[in-house]
Amino acid sequence: MEKLLFNWRELKATFWFVPVVIIIFSILLSIGLVSVDGSLETPQDGLVRFFFVKSADSARSILSTISAAMMGVAGTVFSITLVALTLASSQFGPRLIKNFMYVRLNQVVLGAYISTYLYCLLVLNAVREGDDYSFIPSISILVAIVAAIVNILLLIVFIHKIAISIQADNVVSDIADFLSKQVKSLFPAKMGEEKDNCDNIDPAAVISRYKNQITIKSPKSGYFQYVDSEALMEVITKKDALFELYFRPGAHLVEGIKMGVLFTNSTWEEKEIEKISSQFVVGKAKTAQQDLEYSIDQMVEIAARALSPGVNDPYTAMSCIDNLTTCMCYLAQIDFPSNYRFDENDNLRLIVDTLDFEGVMDAAFNQIRQFSGGSPAVIIRLMEAMITIDGFATKERYKQALIKHAEMVLRVGKETMSEKNDLKDLKARSEQLL
């Protein structure tokens, strides 16, 4: 079930899915409305007559004009989208192109224009005029006019959205919002049951109870995108086995690499072993569904580019630090998932590679610190971030990770700050933590 949800979310995130759905709807709508036009007689008198076309020439003219205009505007929308993607790629990094493609408004606008074109084309084909038989789908034409008006409004909204979507602050804010939602959905993660205290577990002693070992290899090369944890736990529990997984989502795998080891006292058929491998999704690119570091890396990439000599935009880098600080303050208050997962009867079934607080801190701040040399404002902001996160840290090991990063930031400051007053400010802040 989890794997189906993963595929469904990936399908919805593609650039073509929503436009195709809208196009199919427009085709069905055109067929339905033409049928309604054929069975109903449109009003001839009163105010209503101004909204319905009674001339076949007028009907063809209106539908032809709308369909031609929609295709022209669709080309404009394509051009604007490509320009925005080019700017995003050059300014923020190529990995952020996905974010712009996944914007629902862009997909809706593209689908609306193409579907309106097809709708007008199909309705135009239904118009008939002759001595024996004439058919003018007045209601269908009225709907086409309304769709054209809506599309004009959509174009205005689309241009406004594109104009603000390529601004650095908005890009960083959007990633931060997604990161915040992702953190709250992934932590604490669920993969079987988790005991409150796993420090006393001796995995070697548990493994020694099993006689056989089966190596599970990666089915293909690519990035580890997703694991169906519920199905994996069900398969392993049913066979009374233990599985140790060496990688977590986000890791790069090579075909045939040892992903993990299955410990068991029973014999497994090839189909059963393949059922284990089928619970892992390996693809060409990273996804954010189970990989927290993927979203963090996007934010770090923006900061790294902003700190490059060619761009030299410390304000964008500081904005990234601020948003990463918000995320880390939340993570500093929670319990990270354990490496050990148990079934309902408290039997150890899974040993997995999980993120810890120090690892997330490294992913969030290491590269920014490495690129921040020579930018006192960014170095000082990094130290302030450590102080802020420390105020939310609930565990001693979290505080030790913060002290480690604060010491590294202080060393960078001492090595690269030439102004004594800047270094004095940095040391004054570091004293609050160190």
In a domain, 307, yes or no: yes
Residue 201 has pLDDT above 50, yes or no: yes
In a domain, 214, yes or no: no
User: Over pLDDT 70: what percentage of the chain?
Assistant: 90
Residue 254 has pLDDT above 90, yes or no: yes
Cis peptide upstream of residue 219 (ω within 30 degrees of 0) = no
Least confident of 50-64, 110-124, 210-224, 352-366: 50-64
Amino acid at 344: E
Quote the pLDDT of residue 185.
67
- What is the tens place of the pLDDT at every residue in 137-193? 888 888 999 999 999 999 999 888 888 877 777 878 888 887 777 777 666 444 444
Encoding tokens for residue 288?
């954010």
In a domain, 33, yes or no: yes
Of 265, 271, 252, 232, nearest in space to 352 by CA = 232
* CA torsion through residues 248, 249, 254, 258, sign: positive
For the chain, the domain total comes to: 2
In a domain, 297, yes or no: yes
**Which tops the pLDDT comparison, 11 or 274?**
274
Q: Where in the sequence is the domain holding 88, given as residue range(s)?
A: 14-166
Encoding tokens for residue 383?
């130290």
Please answer whether residues 279 and 235 qualify as being in contact, where contact means their C-beta atoms are separated by less than 8 angstroms: yes
Query: Looking at the whole model, is its pTM more than 0.85?
Result: no
In a domain, 220, yes or no: no
| C-alpha dihedral, 393 to 198 to 6 to 174, nearest 10° | 0
Please answer whether residues 115 and 25 qualify as being in contact, where contact means their C-beta atoms are separated by less than 8 angstroms: yes
Residue 367 has pLDDT above 60, yes or no: yes
Quote the pLDDT of residue 187.
61
**Which tops the pLDDT comparison, 87 or 139?**
139
Quote the pLDDT of residue 46.
47
Pairing relation of β-strands 242-245 and 258-264? antiparallel
DSSP structure string for 206-250: HHTT--EEEEEE-SSSEEEEEE-HHHHHHHHHHTT-EEEE---TT
Which of the listed residues 135, 166, 197 is the one where a domain comes to its end?
166
User: Over pLDDT 90: what percentage of the chain?
Assistant: 33
Cα–Cα distance list, 356 to 167, 178, 266, 342 (Å): 33, 20, 34, 19
**Which tops the pLDDT comparison, 321 or 335?**
321
Quote the pLDDT of residue 45.
53
Quote the pLDDT of residue 325.
94
Rg (CA), the chain: 29
Please answer whether residues 294 and 17 qualify as being in contact, where contact means their C-beta atoms are separated by less than 8 angstroms: no
Looking at the fold, whether 160 and 295 belong to one and the same domain comes out as no
d(Cα 293, Cα 296) in Å, to the nearest integer? 5
Residue 389 has pLDDT above 90, yes or no: yes
Predicted confidence band of residue 41 (pLDDT cuts 50, 70, 90): low
Quote the pLDDT of residue 376.
93
Quote the pLDDT of residue 51.
60
Please answer whether residues 396 and 354 qualify as being in contact, where contact means their C-beta atoms are separated by less than 8 angstroms: no
Quote the pLDDT of residue 197.
54
Contacts of 245 (CB under 8 A, 6+ apart): 227, 259, 260, 350, 351, 352, 353
In a domain, 347, yes or no: no
Residue 60 has pLDDT above 50, yes or no: yes
The residues facing 212 across adjacent strands are 264
In a domain, 18, yes or no: yes
**Which tops the pLDDT comparison, 111 or 167?**
111
Cα–Cα distance list, 223 to 98, 219, 282, 335, 354 (Å): 16, 11, 5, 27, 16
**Which tops the pLDDT comparison, 150 or 226?**
150
Quote the pLDDT of residue 434.
80
Burial class (CB in 10 A: 0-12, 13-18, 19+), 220: exposed
How far from each other are the two terminal CA atoms of the chain, in whole angstroms? 48
Which of the listed residues 131, 166, 201 is the one where a domain comes to its end?
166
In a domain, 211, yes or no: no
Least confident of 174-178, 225-229, 256-260, 413-417: 174-178
d(Cα 46, Cα 43) in Å, to the nearest integer? 8
Quote the mean pLDDT of the chain: 84
Residue 379 has pLDDT above 50, yes or no: yes
Burial class (CB in 10 A: 0-12, 13-18, 19+), 107: buried
29-43, 157-171, 319-333: range with highest mean pLDDT: 319-333
Quote the pLDDT of residue 117.
93
Count CB atoms within 10 A of the CB of residue 45: 6
* CA torsion through residues 89, 93, 97, 103, sign: negative
